[in-house]
Every structure is written in structure tokens, then in C-alpha cells.
Amino acid sequence: MTTHTTDTPPAPTDERRSWLRDHSELGVCVLLLVLGLLVLTDALTMDVDLTQRGPVGPRTVPIVVGGGLLLIAALLAVDVLRGGRGQAEAGEDIDLSEPADWRTVLLLAGVFLGAAVLIEPLGFPIAGALLFWGAAFALGSRRFDRDPLIAAVLSLVTYAVFNNLLGVPLPGGPLMGVL
């Protein structure tokens, strides 16, 4: 009994999937291209009052950043199309074969959204403390005796640095008279 095997060429969709998998870094190029175009469009359509402009102007940094993003996107695309490949995550101690930890991602997203909603009514010191404590909890810390204290101190120091030293006004909330 003999069996015949025929060598059939792969289907066109298999070839395309293989090519896309081998050149997946092109997705990063597209993302950088879109971000660069968005930054440049926003910078070039910015309303600039000539009397408030300094020697450099408010458009300079966004134009440089947008141009840099476009340049990096082009250079990365050329490298990928010439056969360049990204290095594997050798420095990280993660197992890439394991699925993503969506529970942690969703907890962190909820903490960030909660802080964004609460910053105006509660002020930065309270919302920031909840943000820092929630992020620590989402990332696995379960030290309920220490984490809230560290979060509160970190939030107050951040508030003081931005509000008092850097002159960036942050909402103080109910603590405005105390701080």
C-alpha cells in the first residue's frame, strides 16, 4: 500500500498571513505615521497670537516632535522591509506564551478613569491618593497598612511640587484651605 502526497502550494491567504506576521512591525510604523501627522496637523493649525509668542514660539516643539515621528516611521518601515526584525524581550522576565492579564489591565483602566472623574470634585490630593493606591492594588500590592499612607504622601508631594514649585495649578478640592 503506497500513499501519495502531493505538494500543493499554500493558499494565497496563508502566504499573506505569513508575510504580515513576518512584517508585523509595520503596524508600529503606521501608528507612528498617524501620530506624526496628527501632531503636525495640530501644530500647523494652532492659533498663535504674535504678541504672546516668545523667541521660539509654541509651534516649534510640536513640529519637531511630529517631524521626528514621521522620520522614525519611515526609517523603521525601510528597516522592516529590508528584513530587519525586532529583538525578543530578552531583558524581561515574562513568558510571551502566556495570555495577557486582562484583569490587571481593566483594574488599572478603571483606576485611571475613576481618578479622572474624581479629580474635579475631590481635588488632586484625594484623587491622586486614590489613583496611586488603586494602581498599587491593581498591580498586586496587598499591604493595607502601608499602601494608603504611601499613596497619600506621594499625592501630597506631587501636588505641592506641581502647584507650589512649578506653578501648575491643580485642583485642591475640599483640602484647598488646608494646603
> 168 and 111 in one domain?
yes
Number of domains in the chain: 2
Lowest mean pLDDT among 49-58, 64-73, 74-83: 49-58
pLDDT in tens, 83-142: 877 666 665 666 667 787 899 999 999 999 999 999 999 999 999 999 999 999 999 999
Higher pLDDT, 177 or 161: 161
> Does some domain include residue 6?
no
Q: How far is CA 161 from the centre of its chain?
A: 23
pLDDT at residue 147, as a whole number:
95
> Does some domain include residue 63?
yes
Domain with 122 in it: 102-175
Mean pLDDT, range 49-70, rounded to an integer: 80
> 53 and 110 in one domain?
no
> 114 and 76 in one domain?
no
> Does some domain include residue 121?
yes
- 128 phi and psi angles, rounded to 5 deg: -65, -40
> 25 and 56 in one domain?
yes
> 170 and 107 in one domain?
yes
Taken in order 69, 41, 117, 155, the sign of the CA dihedral is positive
Q: Is the pLDDT of residue 7 over 80?
A: no
109 neighbors 134 (Cβ within 8 angstroms): no
Which spans in the chain are helix H?
12-22, 26-44, 60-81, 102-122, 124-138, 147-160
Place 48 in a pLDDT band, splitting at 50, 70 and 90.
confident
pTM, two decimal places: 0.54
Q: Is the pLDDT of residue 64 over 80?
A: yes
> Does some domain include residue 90?
no
DSSP 29: H
